[in-house]
Structure 1
Amino acid sequence: MVTKQVMPINLDLAPEVDRLLLELGVGPFVRETVTSPIGRNDAWAGVTENGRDVFVKRLTGRAGDTQGRLRRLLDFEKYAADASFDNVHWPQFIGSDEENFIVVFERIDDAVNGATLMVDETFTLEHAHQVGRAIGHLHSTPPAATVDLDDTTPGFPPVGLLEGIPLSMFLRSSAGEIEAWRLLQNDPELIAAVRRLRDAEAQAPKVPSHCDLRVDQLLIGPEGLFLTDWEEFRLADPARDVGAFAGEWIYRSVLDLVTNRGDDAFLDTEFTHDLVLRRGVDKMRRLLPLVHEFWRAYREVRPEVDDGLAVRATAFAGWHLLDRLIAGALSSARLSAIQRAAAGVGRAALVNPEKFATTLGFGGDR
């Protein structure tokens, strides 16, 4: 598995990790093999004394949130054990310590993270096709009667926070975060669009959904495509996953406005307003075929969808960019021009999803 690594958290400070590995029969970590992939949770990857290559994650965060994420992750394992998939793969689950919020998986060897492929411009139409089929299969596979999945609606987009953030949140926010929330809260048309999306989502059919689909949750290797990080898995509007994939590529196209990726001729060109607009169209046109191929593959697997799916997915794609705005502002003193540009594109898709659905290729059955 190829991903960014940092120095591992000292396992002497987390004895429960090796204790669980011993209980599961795979043996403790060989310390010199251990690395820590970057992420929001504590994580260790390495070889155990029994020769098993494993990935260990300890969920972190507020107690209630952590408990919910662990429950949904374990729900997915129960669901997947009873489901019959043609095209969905996930890392093999080895075991867990629910008291300490630790889960253990077989590590996927020789796999590349989808985010790496995106940045290296090696994420292909075939990769997009694989993802589309995988998500289509997931959405088409209901849980067994004995599996009770979470059907609560995910918290984002947060209508309440668009009206005002609590004092406790304000006090721990960066200046960039406060600026981002102010930008959203002072936009009544945007807030109305979020309300419409939430109302439409409440009426939508619920299917097994990943609900946190990003390219860095994808591992692609010789054995095929693996979907990872099932902490938000639940019964939900399928438009969330479809929109998230599209949103990833729209966001990438905006980030590329200030790069020369795919157009070396612009290296020494002065940026004017007209040029920025033209580059925006060109960058999006270059990446949208990946969204089109995802959708085509998705509909091959799941030809029957509800009438509003395309419009809701487009609105969720728009929200995805605004969510990235908030996440990117966490450690910022102020919003950058590129962050504001991404927010503007996201707003346009969220406020006018009917118009943008055709641009994303969601207008037809294929």
Structure 2
Amino acid sequence: MESQSRAARIRFEPADLDRHPEVNALLEHTGLGKFNADTITSPFGRNESWMGTTDQGHQVFVKSFEGPGQQERLQRTLHFGKRALLAGIATPNILAHRENPAIVVFELLDEPLSLLDLFTESADQQQDFDTRWCVEAAQLTADTHRLAVEGFDTSAHPLPPLSPMNALTLPGFLRQSGAELHMWQLLHNDPDVLQAVTAMKEADNPTLGQWVPIHGDLRLDQFLIGHDSLYLTDAEEARLGDPARDIGAFAGEWLYHAINRIPTVLNESQVVGHVPTHEEIVATGAAEVDRFSSRTQAFFSAYLARAEFSESLHHDLAVRAARYAGWHMIDRMISVARQKQILAAVPRAAAGIGRSLLLSPQQFLHTIGLRTPAHAA
């Protein structure tokens, strides 16, 4: 299946299949049978999707692409799936597709668990996250970056979104939540960040020297555990690009979750009624970042060993990845703001750390787990 996996991200009611008769029509046309209605669930996401069992006994995940660029996202998904299959990269099998409307059918893994789910469960149970999965994620990512470039999309990645980061249109302004307006005000008043993300995005082109097939939207919930193996999913943004984007996204995920842990850790470690001091907040954040950085370091070390880039390229790759990790933190603030009326302290703090990474990435390679072998001592 694709990136959703647990009940926490399942809608109370599945998306209405009556509005999408083409879904069951495609399933029946390909011999998979139509969905058994009482088995269907729908994960949250930007696309309409359904997972369940058909009347022929097949477990499937169906995605109907919504919004702009439907055909392009479908074609990127199909091309990655074909290339991954030939290269032995573990990704859910594509069973069928339709181009108009854009629909794709995947084999549904049996009781999948995403790395985000695993992290959440281990945190709830106060257990360490097994870095074995970071190593396996690195190997899948490196194998993706080693695919032949032929056939991959060469268009520019849509992120960072430079247009709204420069200015909002009037219709765009009127659609914003209170948290979004606060967030855009912070970004619009920070020309250094705009300059940094603009330079980062403009550098992502064939002259880079490392322009390879990338996943393009790497997050913990894009990795699924099934049958004790790890699968890479949701490749609708796959294209040629800077490998640092994927590496930085993985690093940024752990960094964001480290910062997100600060209120919980402070609450668990303080007596009732105590108001944490600035020093306690900073110390807690530093300790969490240090604890989580081992996961990024396990990923990055395994990635370098698998990707087979020249050692002379490792340091620059790490620096670029740190910048992308910084952007990932700001992107998380943007995503959170879309769902809120008030921009909370944690996403603002995460974006502040992201700013530091964007502007001075070399200073933080050791801190966030992007040491290269030459600098590991």
2:66 to 60, 75, 80: 60
Q: Which residue of 1 aligns with 2:41?
A: 35
CA distance in 2 between counterparts of 1:336 and 1:223 reads 37
Cα offsets for 1:320-349 (capped at 9, x unmatched)? 010010110012212111121111111111
Q: Which residue of 2 aligns with 1:330?
A: 338
1:360 Cα shift? 2.4
1:195 and 2:198 aligned: yes
Q: Contact between 2:187 and 2:193, CA under 8 Å: does it hold in 1?
A: yes
Q: What is the one-letter code of the residue matched to 1:300? A: A
Q: Which residue of 2 aligns with 1:288?
A: 293
State how 1:95-244 maps to structure 2 within 5 Å.
Answer: 95-121=96-122, 123-143=129-149, 147-202=150-205, 203-204=207-208, 205-244=210-249
CA distance in 2 between counterparts of 1:15 and 1:362 reads 48
CA distance in 2 between counterparts of 1:267 and 1:187 reads 38
Q: Contact between 1:200 and 1:312, CA under 8 Å: does it hold in 2?
A: no
Give the unaligned 5+ runs of structure 1: none
- Could you say if the C-alpha distance between residues 84 and 78 of structure 1 is closer, same or farther in structure 2, counting changes exceeding 3 Å? closer
State how 1:309-328 maps to structure 2 within 5 Å.
Answer: 309-328=317-336
Matched length? 357
Q: Which residue of 2 aligns with 1:78?
A: 82
Q: What is the one-letter code of the residue matched to 1:302? A: A
CA distance in 2 between counterparts of 1:301 and 1:267 reads 47
- Could you say if the C-alpha distance between residues 200 and 9 of structure 1 is closer, same or farther in structure 2, counting changes exceeding 3 Å? closer
CA distance in 1 between counterparts of 2:308 and 2:184 reads 39
- Specify the SS of the correspondent of 1:35: coil
CA distance in 2 between counterparts of 1:187 and 1:199 reads 19
- Specify the SS of the correspondent of 1:46: strand
CA distance in 2 between counterparts of 1:154 and 1:181 reads 21
Q: Contact between 1:180 and 1:326, CA under 8 Å: does it hold in 2?
A: yes
1:344 and 2:352 aligned: yes
1:8 and 2:11 aligned: no
Normalised to the residue count of structure 1, the TM-score between the two structures is: 0.93
CA distance in 2 between counterparts of 1:216 and 1:267 reads 34
Cα offsets for 1:198-251 (capped at 9, x unmatched)? 243334221110000001111012240011101001111100000000000000
Cα offsets for 1:72-129 (capped at 9, x unmatched)? 1122123234x423xx310010011110111101100032022111222364210111
2:305 to 300, 303, 312: 300
Cα offsets for 1:8-53 (capped at 9, x unmatched)? 1222222111100011111101111111122221111111111100
Q: Contact between 1:130 and 1:225, CA under 8 Å: does it hold in 2?
A: yes
Q: Which residue of 1 aligns with 2:254?
A: 249
CA distance in 2 between counterparts of 1:112 and 1:77 reads 20
In the TM superposition, structure 1's runs of 4+ consecutive aligned residues that sit over 3 Å from their partners are 266-269
CA distance in 2 between counterparts of 1:48 and 1:230 reads 24
- Specify the SS of the correspondent of 1:37: coil
CA distance in 2 between counterparts of 1:300 and 1:40 reads 35
CA distance in 2 between counterparts of 1:277 and 1:26 reads 55
CA distance in 2 between counterparts of 1:28 and 1:267 reads 56
- Specify the SS of the correspondent of 2:45: coil
Normalised to the residue count of structure 2, the TM-score between the two structures is: 0.90
1:59 Cα shift? 1.1
Q: What is the one-letter code of the residue matched to 1:78? A: K
1:355 and 2:355 aligned: no
CA distance in 2 between counterparts of 1:188 and 1:355 reads 21
- Specify the SS of the correspondent of 2:204: helix
Superposed CA RMSD:
1.8
| Identity level (%) | 37
Q: Which residue of 1 aligns with 2:32?
A: 26
Range that drifts further, 218-227 or 16-25 = 218-227
1:176 Cα shift? 1.1
CA distance in 1 between counterparts of 2:157 and 2:202 reads 13
CA distance in 1 between counterparts of 2:271 and 2:27 reads 52
Q: Contact between 1:91 and 1:107, CA under 8 Å: does it hold in 2?
A: yes
- Could you say if the C-alpha distance between residues 10 and 95 of structure 1 is closer, same or farther in structure 2, counting changes exceeding 3 Å? same
CA distance in 1 between counterparts of 2:299 and 2:221 reads 16
Q: Which residue of 1 aligns with 2:281?
A: 276
Range that drifts further, 23-32 or 304-313 = 304-313
Q: Contact between 2:289 and 2:368, CA under 8 Å: does it hold in 1?
A: no
Q: Which residue of 2 aligns with 1:90?
A: 91
CA distance in 1 between counterparts of 2:169 and 2:75 reads 27
Q: Contact between 1:140 and 1:207, CA under 8 Å: does it hold in 2?
A: yes
Q: Which residue of 1 aligns with 2:125?
A: none
CA distance in 1 between counterparts of 2:212 and 2:285 reads 34
Q: Contact between 1:114 and 1:123, CA under 8 Å: does it hold in 2?
A: no
